[in-house]
Amino acid sequence: MRVLPGVDCAVATTVGLVREENQDRGVVARGQFLHRKRTSFLLLAIADGMGGMKAGGECATQTLSYLLEALIGSSELSLESCLRTAIHVANEAIYAHFRGEGGATLSALLLEQATGQMVIANIGDSRIYRFSPTKASSVEQLTVDDTLAARVPQFEGAPKYEHHPEKNRLIQFLGIGPDLQPNVLRLDGANQRVGYLLTTDGAHGHGNVLLSEIVANAASAEEAAERLIALSDWTGGPDNSTVICAFPRTLERFLAAKSQRTSILTLWTPSTQCEFVGVNSFPFRHEVRQRDSSLMNSRGNRNEPTVPADRSQTAKGRGTRRPPRKSKKQPPNLLSKPDEESEKEQMKIRFLPNYREDAK
């Protein structure tokens, strides 16, 4: 678990007691930029790798990495369009690598500092809730799962469908291809009396009533996140569980934060806190075309193709070989520690000491 300094916000995850690999990813990202059309933003996002498909953990990592990359480089005037475009960029990149055989869910909350505008997006069965932490309150689910049971309630016989063995089958996920239809919703501005909770299916599987009781009786975001993760393990831990909890006033404190003298992207994950200083130099690919998976490396970045043998001679027929094409510098995976070359050429990256970690 990681608690953000200065605000009542925590991000936590557990692999559970059954799975060998944790394919959930969660990140809180604060971008503070200079000399950009896009003002500073706060992003809360979780992704759950698709079980039973290829490389679920890698797909979840790529989902958040490409999402952040697109948000940093976006010049969209509308915050809603900015998030929607970023989602399509991530979807096309993952589809180009796995061709629909791998993917992840996504739930994201994006807040713009200058205007206070806030939008949320959801693909799959991860969720976003809104709550007021009082004994009498209940958690309000803001998103609708992309499952058969949740998306077809208007069909005749829907009550019987609740017990169908395929009720939780996803109808879309990030990486599904060009047919993706992101669920993007604009919310009212940040409210000092309201908090937000993002969960993967392993954390909210016990129902909204129990979820409400846990949040209402928690004294802090750290306590709420810790209890939700513990509940998942105490009940058998059949799945990975990830939670991001932001108590009231968290978003308002972000809006009131002072501007920095340089551009900084700060990331908090359950295991890492780091800063990317000078992030204005971060290269952004405005367009990701669908391409053969052989052109993609293990991180989903493009590998420059080699020059075919029959084209190795110059047009004048002198028999000299073309100089090798220089590969374009690709952005580092924002959720992985960058290599030394990226650190020197792209930006300064600082891995910060933990503000607070589990005593475990």
What pLDDT score does 279 carry?
67
Q: Which amino acid is at 91?
A: N
Q: What CA–CA distance (Å, rounded) separates 296 from 31?
A: 28
Instruction: Taking each helix axis as running N to C, give the angle between helix 221-234 and helix 208-216, from 0 to 180 degrees, rounded to the nearest 10.
Output: 140
pLDDT at 66: 93
pLDDT reported for residue 159: 54
What per-residue confidence (pLDDT) applies to 350?
A: 65
The series of mean pLDDT values per 10 residues for the chain, 360 residues long, is 90 95 95 70 95 87 92 80 93 93 95 88 96 77 89 58 71 93 88 89 90 91 96 94 93 76 87 82 37 34 39 40 48 46 49 51
Q: For the chain, what's the residue count?
A: 360
Quick one: pLDDT at residue 103? 93
Q: 240 with 230: CB under 8 angstroms?
A: no
Residue 141: phi and psi, rounded to 5, are -80, 120
Q: What is the pLDDT of residue 40?
A: 84
DSSP string for 176-221: S-TT---EEEEEPSP-TT-EEEEE-HHHHTT-HHHHHHHHHT-SSH
Tell me the pTM.
0.78
Which amino acid appears at position 152 of this protein?
Answer: V
Q: Which CATH class is domain 2-155+162-281?
A: alpha beta
Residue with tokens 């052109």: 295
Rounded Cα distance, 329 and 332, in Å: 9
Identify the pLDDT of residue 305. 37
Asked if 284 and 331 count as a contact pair (C-beta separation under 8 A), the reply is yes
Neighbours of 84 (CB within 10 A): 16
Q: Return the SS3 of 17.
A: coil
